[in-house]
């Protein structure tokens, strides 16, 4: 089979196309014929990291979608021929989804509802599960998302045109929230609106706090935050009493200046989140709720749905990594089988 591999960290030039034998699934594992591999910032950052890779050879990419090709001993919830989406495929393992076949623990392969394309499926994983967690850490819940679970709540999504922002908008709207998205251009405003945001605010245009307050005079209940470093002051201004700020990225900076008085006076919950360490219970809850949203048709992708897709062939994985690193708008996908674009 064709695999993209690297044995040392560095620029995308360390990635190469190689021929490898497909591995057999062990107990509790499944093998998936990968149709589409999804690329996230975590993939290029892991490849570019300064630490030596944990394995002699690594196949990148955490997310993807495909068809079960073989099942290991003890697997009962999946069978050969099932269409699945994959998450954390390369977490603590040497091989991810940038190859024709991949072996993963059975719980990381989730059966797809009928009618859901591999483009949607490979766009879930890190973005959708991060968004789910960000929307479920409020002091007053909900701990799970479903239609009506966020009725009466106001959600602010920072960076509404990004992959996590897009998923957060869709999940929050599906759960009944009023959604405000911050963006930086008219193009991105159109994408956030297409994703379902009720209001958009260009944070470069005038007083962003006043604009948000006009839509949420009693404050924002949940903030899905892409850059606490940049937005801590704004968040503190617009957050409601007992609101939650869930942040999931650092944008290269390890320190944020947080207004103390306004946040403790409002009893604000500030929650960091990382899928690798969030715990199995949170991952399982996200899987179930995302699957329900998929069945309801709530997570479409493509430009008309607010998430433009940029496609690459498997042998172009280095270029796909570069596109994500350079801030490509929307979702970058790799067409592994060559028939999904």
Confidence of residue 50 (pLDDT cuts 50, 70, 90): confident
Global confidence as pTM: 0.96
pLDDT in tens, 224-255: 999 999 999 999 999 999 999 999 987 767 78
Please tell me the predicted confidence (pLDDT) of residue 130.
98
**Residue 39 belongs to a domain:** yes
- Cβ neighbours of residue 233 closer than 8 Å, sequence gap 6 or more: 257, 259
Residue 74 has pLDDT above 70, yes or no: yes
- Return d(Cα 205, Cα 209) in angstroms, integer: 11
Q: Specify whether 137 is located in the same domain as 267.
A: yes
Q: Max Cα separation, the chain? A: 60
The three-state secondary structure class of 273 is coil
Helices (H), the chain: 41-48, 118-121, 125-134, 163-174, 186-195, 208-215, 228-238, 260-265, 280-295, 317-325
Phi-psi domain of 68 (left: phi exceeds 0; alpha: psi -120 through 50; beta: other) = beta
Average pLDDT over residues 44-71: 94
**Residue 252 belongs to a domain:** yes
Phi, psi of 109 (to 5 degrees): -115, 115
Residue 309 has pLDDT above 90, yes or no: yes
Average pLDDT over residues 269-285: 97
Q: How many domains are there within the chain?
A: 2
pLDDT in tens, 137-152: 999 999 999 999 999 9
User: Percent of the chain having pLDDT more than 70?
Assistant: 100
Residue 54: give its domain's CATH number.
3.90.180.10
Domain end point (choices 259, 276, 293): 276
Give the residue carrying structure tokens 């497909």. Answer: 22
Please tell me the predicted confidence (pLDDT) of residue 252.
65
The answer to whether the CB of 40 falls within 8 A of the CB of 63 is: yes
Full residue range of the structural domain in which residue 331 is found: 2-123+307-335
């Amino acid at each position: 089979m064709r695999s993209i591999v690297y044995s040392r960290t560095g620029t995308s030039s360390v990635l190469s196309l190689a021929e490898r034998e497909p591995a057999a699934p062990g107990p509790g594992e499944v093998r998936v014929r990968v149709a589409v591999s999804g690329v996230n910032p975590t993939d290029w950052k892991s490849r570019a990291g300064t630490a030596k890779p944990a394995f002699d050879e690594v196949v990148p990419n955490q997310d993807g979608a495909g068809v079960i090709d073989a099942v290991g001993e003890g697997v009962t919830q999946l069978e050969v021929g099932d269409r699945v989406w994959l998450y954390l495929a390369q977490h603590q393992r040497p091989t991810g989804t940038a190859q024709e076949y991949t072996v993963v623990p059975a719980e990381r392969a989730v059966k797809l509802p009928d009618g859901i394309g591999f483009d949607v499926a490979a766009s879930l994983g890190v973005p959708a599960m991060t968004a789910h967690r960000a929307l479920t850490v409020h002091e007053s819940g909900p701990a799970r998302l479903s239609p009506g679970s966020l009725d009466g709540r106001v959600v602010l999504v920072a960076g509404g045109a990004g992959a996590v922002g897009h998923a957060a908008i869709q999940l929050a709207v599906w759960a009944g929230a009023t959604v405000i998205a911050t963006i930086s251009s008219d193009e991105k405003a159109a994408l956030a609106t297409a994703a379902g945001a009720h209001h958009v605010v260009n944070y470069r245009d005038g007083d962003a706090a006043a604009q948000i307050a006009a839509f949420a005079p009693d404050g924002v209940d949940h903030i899905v935050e892409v850059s606490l470093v940049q937005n801590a002051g704004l968040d503190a201004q617009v957050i409601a009493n007992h609101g939650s700020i869930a942040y999931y990225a650092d944008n290269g900076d390890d320190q944020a200046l947080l207004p103390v008085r306004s946040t403790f006076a409002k009893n604000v919950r500030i929650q960091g989140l990382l899928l690798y360490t969030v715990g199995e219970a949170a991952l399982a809850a996200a899987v179930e709720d995302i699957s329900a949203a998929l069945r309801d048709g709530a997570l479409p992708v493509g430009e008309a749905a607010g998430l433009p897709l940029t496609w690459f062939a498997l042998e172009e994985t280095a270029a796909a990594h570069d596109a994500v690193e350079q801030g490509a708008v929307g979702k970058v996908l790799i067409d592994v089988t060559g028939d999904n674009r």
